[in-house]
Structure 1
Amino acid sequence: MDTLSRVALGVLTVACCVVSASALGQPNNPTGPLTRAEVRADLAAWRAAGYDPLDWLHYPENAQRAAAIVAQRRASGAMPQPAQ
């Protein structure tokens, strides 16, 4: 193994350590994790707003559009707020 590839391997190792350490430093959610029923209800609301999780061709746009529709419906009281 030459010196350049050893340096590249070392940089990659350090980068992986930094990323994993920062993932451990995420703040704790005081409300706790969502239940399976809450996640399913949220997905049902997104799908009712037109989100298709299998549509990879239009992924960011369809997710953003559905998020805006769901937020608008929740703000207007048309659907319940998620548990917080």
Structure 2
Amino acid sequence: MKALISAVVVAAALAAPVASFAQSNQPVTRAQVRAELVQLEKAGYNPVGDQINYPANIQAAQARVDAQNGTAQAVNSGYGAPIAGSSQAGRPVSSNDRNSVYFGN
């Protein structure tokens, strides 16, 4: 009986951290979306304005909103950190027309 109780206690102790990090699966409400849009508009974003620079405009406004809220992230993209330098390797591109499958036909 003591083994069963200790097993339950260990299982509960292991399951507690998992439950504390669970995220809400509730959908975003219309009011929340409108509030976020109002914040972006106050930060200088115009949703019906300049569509040529669309990603840059909304990203800049989002960065300003994040800075105001204190929730700025180091890197907002999924592509990793910015590149500090550059490098090249390999040889020049050569023309393979002479060795083509259709050469001579």
* TM, length-normalised to structure 1: 0.51
Unaligned 5+ segments in structure 2 are 1-22, 72-105
Letter in 2 for 1:47: E
1:48 to 38, 42, 57: 42
Match of 1:39 in 2: 33
Letter in 1 for 2:70: A
Deviations 1:57-82 (A, max 9, x none): 22111111001001111117xxxxxx
Higher helix proportion (structure 1 or 2): 1
Distance 1:49 1:30 in 2: 28
- Does 1:68 pair with 2:87? no
Runs (4+) off by over 4 Å? none
Write the mapping of 1:2-21 to structure 2, written as runs, cut at 5 A: none
Q: Percent identity, aligned pairs only?
A: 42
The structure whose RCO (Cα within 8 Å, separation 6+) is larger is 1
Letter in 2 for 1:75: G
Partner SS, residue 53 of structure 1: coil
* TM, length-normalised to structure 2: 0.41
Distance 1:32 1:71 in 2: 23
Larger Rg: 2
Letter in 2 for 1:63: I
Distance 1:43 1:33 in 2: 17
